[in-house]
Amino acid sequence: MECVCVWLVCVFVLSVCVGARSSLDGQRHLVTDGDAAPDLCEIDPPLCQDAASRLSFASLCSVHRLMDEDEDGSVDASETHEFLRDDLSLDSKDKHRKFHRADALISLQDLWSSWKSSEVYNWTQQQVFDWFLVSVELPQYSESFRKLQLDGKALPRLAVRSPPLTSSLKVSDRTHAQKLQLKALDIVLFGPPPGPPPRPLSPSGSGGGLHLLPAEQEVKRGLGRVLSDLEAAEC
């Protein structure tokens, strides 16, 4: 009888332990879900099944993760400031203002909706190609870039390392790949530069008035770091 009692107690204790374990597991599972990056389907159901949108969203998610240094889910003014100053070395006031337009805290959802309201999002393939010619200044790739037929919606994919894209561009020089990445990051986060939309220079036109930095110099201005960080950040 005593034996049976002890046995029963054992079974009871054991089942309580197992019960506690599984509810702990459940909790941990919930916490993990809470930390996970939100899915496009939650943020933007109409585009949930759109393959191109999903790729762009994943790219923006990587950028957001990189900017959100304290990992609290949103990018605050000081994080933007640091990102611009230390990582991009870009003239920051105007871009800072553009990025934070109305919001002090930029969540991934904010970033996605501000990207969708950017005029760049609606750019046609021709406008993207013109941007490539005028702003990216890597004419040696223009023919393969044109063949990619990217429209504005695809630009976030150029802002992070995207092996399928860079390999179809046949970019062998790392500084060239980084320059393209940086230019795309700039236009996706901060919109097009002020002024009339880019018009490609005619081959006979003089580009003498423009201050053009060679790709190497531009990458050395401290941009290399953020770009390699972006390669590492994943959502």
Ligand X SMILES: *[C@@H]1O[C@H](CO)[C@@H](O)[C@H](O)[C@H]1NC(C)=O
Q: Footprint of ligand X on this chain (CB under 6 A)?
A: 117, 119, 122
Tell me how far, at minimum, the Cβ of 191 lies from ligand X, in Å. 10
Instruction: Give the ranges where the chain is alpha helix by DSSP (H).
Output: 2-35, 40-43, 51-67, 77-82, 92-99, 108-116, 125-131, 142-148, 155-159, 163-169, 174-190, 215-220, 223-232
Of 39 and 119, nearer to ligand X (C-beta) is 119
Of 83 and 190, nearer to ligand X (C-beta) is 190
Q: Which residue is nearest to ligand X (CB)?
A: 122
Of 43 and 77, nearer to ligand X (C-beta) is 43
Q: Which amino acid is at 111?
A: L
**Other Cβ atoms within 10 Å of 227 Cβ, number:** 22
Tell me how far, at minimum, the Cβ of 114 lies from ligand X, in Å. 10
Tell me how far, at minimum, the Cβ of 122 lies from ligand X, in Å. 4
Of 70 and 119, nearer to ligand X (C-beta) is 119
Tell me how far, at minimum, the Cβ of 117 lies from ligand X, in Å. 5
Of 117 and 228, nearer to ligand X (C-beta) is 117
Please tell me the distance from the alpha carbon of residue 169 to that of residue 107, in angstroms, as a whole number: 32
Tokens of 211: 């201050």
* Among 147, 154, 62, residue whose Cα is nearest residue 111: 62
Of 83 and 123, nearer to ligand X (C-beta) is 123
* Among 34, 14, 58, 59, residue whose Cα is nearest residue 158: 59
Please tell me the distance from the alpha carbon of residue 56 to that of residue 185, in angstroms, as a whole number: 12
Tell me how far, at minimum, the Cβ of 26 lies from ligand X, in Å. 43
Tell me how far, at minimum, the Cβ of 57 lies from ligand X, in Å. 17
- Specify whether the CB–CB gap between 189 and 87 falls below 8 A: no
